[in-house]
Structure 1
Amino acid sequence: MKRFNGRLSVLAITISAALTSQNIMAAETDQQIKNDPTLERIEVTARKTAESLQHVPVAVTSVGAEQLAQNGISAMTEVQQFSPNTTLQASRGTNSTLTAFIRGVGQDDPLWGYEPGVGIYVDDVYIARPQGAVLDILDVERIEVLRGPQGSLYGKNTIGGAIKYVTKKMSGDVELDLKATFGNYGRQDYKVAGKIPVIDDKLYVGFALANLTRDGYGEFLQSDLPNQDLENYNKDVFAGRITVEFEPTDDLFFRFNYDKTTDDSNAKGGYRLLPSIVTDAPVPDSVYDSYTSMPTWNSVESEGFSLTAEYYINDTWSVKSVTSSRENYSKTNIDFDNTPERVFDVPAIYDDEQFSQEFQLNYDSDNLTFVSGLYYFDGESCGHFDAILENYGQSLSLPGLTREVTGCNNSESYAVYAQGSYNLTEKLSMTLGARYTTEEKTANVNNGLAFETVYPESGWIPGYVRGDVTFPEVLNDKEDWSRFTPRVGAEYQYSNDMMFFASYSQGFKSGTFNPRASGPEPAVDPEVVDSFEIGVKSEWNDNLRVNATAFYLDHKDRQFVTVLPTEDNSALSQRLGNIGKSTASGLELEIEYAAADNLNIFASIGLIDSSFKEVKSFDTDGSQIDISDSFTITNTPETTANLGVSYDIETSAGAFVVNGNYYYRSDYDLNVTDNLLTQDGYGLLNFGVNWYSNNGDWTAALHWKNITNEEYLVGNYAFLGAQNDDGSYAPGLGGDTTLIGYYGDPETISLTIGYSF
């Protein structure tokens, strides 16, 4: 099987291992350029209250707005470079579906009904589905990456961790920021953000708009459908946000947010790693080129609002309310086989809605700090896909064969939680937290077979009219669960600049029903992760920050699909069960060193050893067996490392910040079961130059990313039969040897010009 090698010099490995890590310059100051060699204070809200990073006994990385801009980070996925043992990547068939793993815990399949393992939050609002979750950087103050289960404060579906996207509160006078970015592949990004004080220091209106476009990294080499845009890996996104903030008194604060994103980027075509046995189309020369027999269009619409109210009762007590409603509607075309023939095509619709309400009661005094709350969530996650297998039976003369699956997996949950830290002595404190969640899920699945080519809607392809096609309901059920998830920890403040901590925490991922069920089957129970951590947070001589965490986690009741044997290999006959158990242990180290007034060095390293310990199955005699040897932890390199520098230069023409970093990921597997595709270790080398005018109005930045033009896999599809003696493979589902790869961004160069007044 072909592997793909990255390049990492021995010198880079040595430096990365020696310097290790980084919590990098996430602190924001009023100055654009830091002239003080001491480290800045970094503030985070990892425990739902503002605290210094160095006093939070949680493994958290915070990347601030200035650092995001100076590194040319335009999408949330790039933040993975700055957080050890973290994977944030655009998923397989689209540009905006997120694959998120932290410490080996996540979710590979983005189909409705499957729950994520890493929670995504925008201003304290949980984003339930991965569709549309690849957020572009717009009007952001910082992004926090919380590693490890966050079950007590953040609740379900944060068993790997949580990503927090935090926007900035408004203050001061009228502001308007304009930015334009131009780059190779025809990139043109235009952003405008501003604020208007309607009532000085009381009422503000803010807004942010972005139009982000880019030509494709590759193209669809063949399409028989008329009037198709043949760009592959292109970008066409419009995003907007409106914010109203009202602070009638010093003790009372309101914020209303509305945002909408429309992503009209094309569907993403994959690269065939094996020649097709059905068509004579050659394997493309570029990994960004593809073939398709489907429309190339794709559409993702996401919007929502939130209302936050905070009231400070007195110096110690405060209350907070967060109300939110969101919806997402996606229409996508995924050509699983990536050939000009309809071998295995999947047009799909995702339709999701959610409402959440959270009330907090918080207390903060010299010896006791706690956060408590009530949480309600109501989510509807529905979908529709047609698996078109026109080549079924190895004969293109058949009229077509379509397996259609539709349904919903809806969830309603309630939770009550509290977590507090108490100072037992001047140096020793203890943290206790717990959350009790009760959840009810209802699910229905329609699953049927039609001997014709069926699309979800009329007009899906030119001239197509959907007839009166109906399929039987095979599942209609409901189930409920309740779960108590505790956290206990101890912290020892050895000195003002050094804290040791140890903790045990638990999290769970919701139980669910099989969204592809072919008949009645019971729901699966929640997955549970137990995590143990010890760590240190330290600062030395005011210019060296070293934070380290060692962890062990036990992941039980993992939800996996067993493919049931059938005479008809188009049946997609599956049963979902709690059949797996895995463990992971590792180390995370982050370092920032202010080497001089104008020189910062930062580094990070994440090491992890993760594997399956048990996967239950049955042999042909019905006896239970363990098949864990055929399962692998995906999207989880044993080593992630980042080494970078930032150098400030003051001149009469303005101030410059020159920065660069080298990010390394060791090899990782792409398939959970019978892995056929491994991405070998690779490194990304990035460089940037930022300029600030003397009066602070003008900025310019030049960014060169993936300088060595590494090719690296971020997703795949594998549908192959048994391997033959000569190393070839028998055809799999769809009648072809389908092994498809999706790749990260190639070498890119961009110039950003900004003006503020």
Structure 2
Amino acid sequence: MGNILTRRRLCATAAMSAIATALVLPIAAQAQEQTQAPSQAPQEESGRTDGINEIVVTAQFRNQSVQEAPLAITAVDAALMEARSQTNVEQLAQRAPSVSFSAGGQGGGAQTAAVNIRGIGQNDFQFPNEPGVGVYIDDVYYGISFGTAFDLVDLERVEILRGPQGTLAGKNSIGGSIKLFSRLPDADPDAYIEASVGSFDRISLKAATNVTIVPDKLFVRLTGTARYVDGYLDRLDYGCVNGVDVPGGNFATGDDCVIGTEGGQNVIAGRAAVRWIINDRVENNFIADVTRDRSEASPGKAIYLPASDTGGISYVTGPKEYTNYANYSGYLGTDNQYTFPAISYLNSWGVSNKLDIELSDNLSITSVTAFRHADGQSAWDGDNSPVNLSNNFSTFTHDQFTQELRLLASFGDLLDLTVGGYYYNADSNLGGRVNVGAAALDFNSNDPFKQTSISVFAHGVVHVTDRFNLTGGLRYTDEDKTYTFSRTSPIPGVPTDVRVASLNGITKGFQGSRLDWRVAGDYEIADDIRIYGQVATGFKGGGVNPRPYLEMQAVPYDQETATSYELGIKTMLFDRRLRLNLAGYKTDYNNYQGLVSACPDISPPGFPFCSATRNVGDAEIKGFEVEFDARPVEGLSIDGSLSYTDFEFVRALFFDTDGNPLSIIPGVTQAPFVPKWKYALGAQYEVDAGNLGTITPRVDWVWQSEMQSNIPNSIPGYLLGEVESRGLLNARLTYRTVDKDWEFAVAATNLTNEFYYMNKYDRVSQSGNAYGMPGRPREIIFSLKRNF
């Protein structure tokens, strides 16, 4: 084990050195050129402003202040993300009101995510189950859940739009959207190198620089990052720990009885951006990125294992221990045993090109063209024990091409109009081996999935007066999807199990269209105090149940639809020392796409196995959100948020494991991954140490109430999927020199070492067990950054 870890560290170190070499040379060259220039940091970057900085967003296709956009937006810039020690989208979502981001789970690998905004999102990573929250990278929609736990590296800002974005976003943003925007290259060197070490043998490197190729015309920005972190959950050999033999064999080779870990990370990524200012009316931005992720499997911990399947042995480790007995071994008789590698691998790359042409002072056109590829493989020991209840290995590939074209026109001070079209085409494949030992079921899958989406849209803002605006939007979308099933035996000479053999070679499809609309009005009742109201719709495409056991379970499901009514107020008070935004909403949510584990209406009599996406009902969602940012005195910054989400099914029908219909219990039956309450609070104070520089301590506290991870969840036997409430404390201390060329920081995440679960899965009706994914324990990280 030690040799393996040593080799991993050497590989990670070598990769970091390569990235550093590639980036340091141009940084050093530019630094030499800049030595005669005075060092003047913009006021907004100094952290010692008298008021709150404005963040410009593009939520409505045009640049505008986040305070002027008539919809609920959380916008975070790079400086605040760094101050909060936020390094990935999951950490950012923890602080955003009404947002739930649960990474990993259900065998999708460490890079998958279930994202919900205002109670609407997705709870299954399978390709036909499209995201309900759109994730965008530089205006490019990412169409799958795999690989969405993005790192926040060298970003200019992140915009989180809450509520249906049917007329504004390119595709499937019924709950909202998360938009990441990279820094664009320019003449400023804007270069840095940052190295970090920390808990679990963490070692990481980040670097970036601008390079001027042709002054005032052509610029390049290079960004690289590499990170290695050991796993934080130990996989123990039960036989070694207890001195007994167990089914599946013994794997430990050392005295510590550890056969491996889960949750480890080994990531290398790079990005190159080319900005070409052709003339004063034409600009082209080309971006290419690549990621190589060789991380370990997602951490899992057994919560419940039935004694009937374990021979009376308890394979559940201590309730707050970062341990399990997973060996990733499956067997159907002694001759058919196998062991999966405990991995979660991802390869991802993409290119995008954004062309902006200003045809006249009042007319411009924007074209965004992109191609993205992703492939990966991941293992899942579904029972986290040597018992063969469930052991799966998944592979996937995904290729997507997108094209968006926008025409923007301004008619004096009266009207801003945007019209355009959007095209999305994707070819994907989901495969691997599924072994449900509890049902003696073992098969290989290799399922291609094809989809296209075409839409046209129009968005206009009428400036009735200097303070009063009316907004309207329309988007028509047409989608076509085809899913083909492949089910074969993984054992040569053994026929495919009759329970899945009928699926082999069949093709199912879904075709649908939708017209979404939005109307909004906003009025500045006083300087920097704006009220707004809007009604907006959105949808999530239908599809085909991707998890059937029999052909009769391979049924389509319809689109989800939502109509949201929202009122809000955005204020900037006390000479820009307090920003306070409030929003309240009500959403009519129809045809909820839920993953259910009992479906007797599409199963043969007495057939107990089911894992199906169905339209299980309608719901009403009500809630409110508060966000504030305060600068009461020079150097002191306080920010926070609060949200309440009341999700209530108004029509639904579920079944119990015996096939009996279950009526919902209003106020008790909840949707998965929707905490009712969330709040966050952070504060920092920059201490001026004179000629020594500045010292900035910061603390952040985030809390959310309990949530469910499966449906139904209001009856006995379906209660093991409840994720308890949690509160996490983060802290950071940053020292900067007077010239701000050097920064040293020590950061602590989960400072109180709170043991909590990111999510849980109650699979009692499927494989007889329940398990959860523990969140990361306390970590201390030291970083040194050199700015150029």
SS at match of 1:342: coil
Q: How far apart are 1:320 and its partner, in Å?
A: 0.5
Q: Is 1:367 the equivalent of 2:414?
A: yes
Q: Is 1:207 the equivalent of 2:247?
A: no
Q: Is 1:483 the equivalent of 2:483?
A: no
Q: Is 1:642 the equivalent of 2:680?
A: yes
2:352 is matched with which residue? Answer: 306
Q: How far apart are 1:176 and its partner, in Å?
A: 3.2
Q: How far apart are 1:290 and its partner, in Å?
A: 2.0
Q: Is 1:160 the equivalent of 2:161?
A: no
CA 1:564/1:453 → structure 2, altered by over 3 Å: closer, same or farther? Answer: farther
Give unmatched runs, 5+ long, in structure 1: 1-27, 393-399, 457-468, 721-731
Q: Is 1:420 the equivalent of 2:460?
A: yes
> How far apart in 1 are the matches of 2:265 and 2:73?
31
CA contact (8 A) 2:43 2:49 kept: no
> How far apart in 2 are the matches of 1:491 and 1:424?
10
Q: Is 1:694 the equivalent of 2:738?
A: yes
2:758 is matched with which residue? Answer: 714
- Alignment-mate amino acid for residue 521 of structure 2: A
Q: Which has the higher contact order (CA 8 A, sep 6+)?
A: 1
- Alignment-mate amino acid for residue 338 of structure 1: N
Q: How far apart are 1:80 and its partner, in Å?
A: 1.6
SS at match of 1:670: coil
Any idea what the Cα deviations from partners look like across 1:131-162, whole Å, max 9, x if unmatched? Answer: 11111111111111100000001143211100
Q: How far apart are 1:192 and its partner, in Å?
A: 1.4
2:701 is matched with which residue? Answer: 662
Q: How far apart are 1:450 and its partner, in Å?
A: 7.0
Find the partner of 1:351 among 363, 374, 397: 397
1:78 is matched with which residue? Answer: 91
Any idea what the Cα deviations from partners look like across 1:99-133, whole Å, max 9, x if unmatched? Answer: 21111111111112111110000000001111111
- Alignment-mate amino acid for residue 383 of structure 2: D
Q: Is 1:193 the equivalent of 2:223?
A: no
Find the partner of 1:681 among 703, 706, 725: 725
1:147 is matched with which residue? Answer: 162
CA 1:83/1:453 → structure 2, altered by over 3 Å: closer, same or farther? Answer: farther
1:612 is matched with which residue? Answer: 649
> How far apart in 2 are the matches of 1:620 and 1:713?
26
Q: Is 1:559 the equivalent of 2:572?
A: no
CA 1:284/1:616 → structure 2, altered by over 3 Å: closer, same or farther? Answer: closer
Q: Could you tell me the TM-score, scaled by structure 2's length? A: 0.84
SS at match of 2:197: strand
> How far apart in 1 are the matches of 2:306 and 2:178?
40
> How far apart in 2 are the matches of 1:86 and 1:167?
22
2:627 is matched with which residue? Answer: 590
SS at match of 1:67: helix
Any residues of structure 2 matched to 1:515-530 within 5 Å, and which? 515-517=546-548, 518-519=550-551, 521-530=554-563
- Alignment-mate amino acid for residue 419 of structure 2: S
Q: Number of aligned residue pairs: give it.
A: 698
Identity of aligned residues (%): 28
SS at match of 1:633: coil
Q: Is 1:601 the equivalent of 2:616?
A: no
Find the partner of 2:527 among 496, 505, 520: 496
- Alignment-mate amino acid for residue 530 of structure 2: M
Give unmatched runs, 5+ long, in structure 2: 1-40, 238-248, 329-340
Any residues of structure 2 matched to 1:59-458 within 5 Å, and which? 59-92=72-105, 93=107, 94-222=109-237, 224=250, 230-275=260-305, 277=307, 278-279=309-310, 280=313, 282-285=315-318, 286-294=320-328, 295-364=341-410, 365-392=412-439, 401-447=441-487
Any idea what the Cα deviations from partners look like across 1:499-554, whole Å, max 9, x if unmatched? Answer: 11000000000111111232155422210011000000111122111111000101
Q: Is 1:56 the equivalent of 2:98?
A: no
SS at match of 1:667: coil
2:565 is matched with which residue? Answer: 532
CA 1:658/1:438 → structure 2, altered by over 3 Å: closer, same or farther? Answer: same
- Select between 589-598 and 421-430 the one with higher mean Cα deviation: 421-430
> How far apart in 2 are the matches of 1:29 and 1:229?
52
1:465 is matched with which residue? Answer: none
> How far apart in 2 are the matches of 1:359 and 1:170?
23
Q: How far apart are 1:300 and its partner, in Å?
A: 1.0
CA contact (8 A) 2:103 2:110 kept: yes
Any idea what the Cα deviations from partners look like across 1:301-320, whole Å, max 9, x if unmatched? Answer: 11111111111122221110
Q: How far apart are 1:626 and its partner, in Å?
A: 4.1
Q: How far apart are 1:245 and its partner, in Å?
A: 1.1
- Alignment-mate amino acid for residue 509 of structure 1: K
- Select between 416-425 and 288-297 the one with higher mean Cα deviation: 288-297
- Alignment-mate amino acid for residue 430 of structure 1: L
> How far apart in 2 are the matches of 1:756 and 1:486?
46
Root-mean-square deviation over aligned CA pairs = 2.8
CA contact (8 A) 1:269 1:335 kept: no
SS at match of 2:342: coil
Q: How far apart are 1:430 and its partner, in Å?
A: 0.6
- Alignment-mate amino acid for residue 374 of structure 1: G
CA contact (8 A) 2:59 2:168 kept: no
Q: How far apart are 1:488 and its partner, in Å?
A: 0.4
> How far apart in 1 are the matches of 2:495 and 2:731?
46
> How far apart in 2 are the matches of 1:98 and 1:710?
22
CA contact (8 A) 1:404 1:471 kept: no
CA 1:511/1:29 → structure 2, altered by over 3 Å: closer, same or farther? Answer: farther
Q: How far apart are 1:73 and its partner, in Å?
A: 1.1
- Alignment-mate amino acid for residue 388 of structure 1: N
SS at match of 1:358: strand
SS at match of 1:231: strand
- Select between 498-507 and 602-611 the one with higher mean Cα deviation: 602-611
- Alignment-mate amino acid for residue 701 of structure 2: Y
- Alignment-mate amino acid for residue 407 of structure 1: D
CA 1:409/1:569 → structure 2, altered by over 3 Å: closer, same or farther? Answer: farther
CA 1:402/1:631 → structure 2, altered by over 3 Å: closer, same or farther? Answer: farther
SS at match of 2:51: coil
CA contact (8 A) 1:156 1:507 kept: no
Any idea what the Cα deviations from partners look like across 1:250-292, whole Å, max 9, x if unmatched? Answer: 2111111111111111112411112453343542235432222
> How far apart in 1 are the matches of 2:454 and 2:583?
32
CA 1:451/1:261 → structure 2, altered by over 3 Å: closer, same or farther? Answer: closer
Any idea what the Cα deviations from partners look like across 1:37-68, whole Å, max 9, x if unmatched? Answer: 21211211111221111101110011110111
> How far apart in 1 are the matches of 2:434 and 2:539?
32
CA 1:733/1:34 → structure 2, altered by over 3 Å: closer, same or farther? Answer: closer
Q: Is 1:550 the equivalent of 2:587?
A: no
CA 1:537/1:253 → structure 2, altered by over 3 Å: closer, same or farther? Answer: same
- Alignment-mate amino acid for residue 249 of structure 1: N
Q: How far apart are 1:497 and its partner, in Å?
A: 0.9
> How far apart in 2 are the matches of 1:266 and 1:620?
34
SS at match of 2:90: helix
- Alignment-mate amino acid for residue 428 of structure 1: F
CA 1:104/1:622 → structure 2, altered by over 3 Å: closer, same or farther? Answer: closer
SS at match of 1:669: coil
> How far apart in 2 are the matches of 1:291 and 1:239?
32
CA contact (8 A) 2:196 2:782 kept: yes
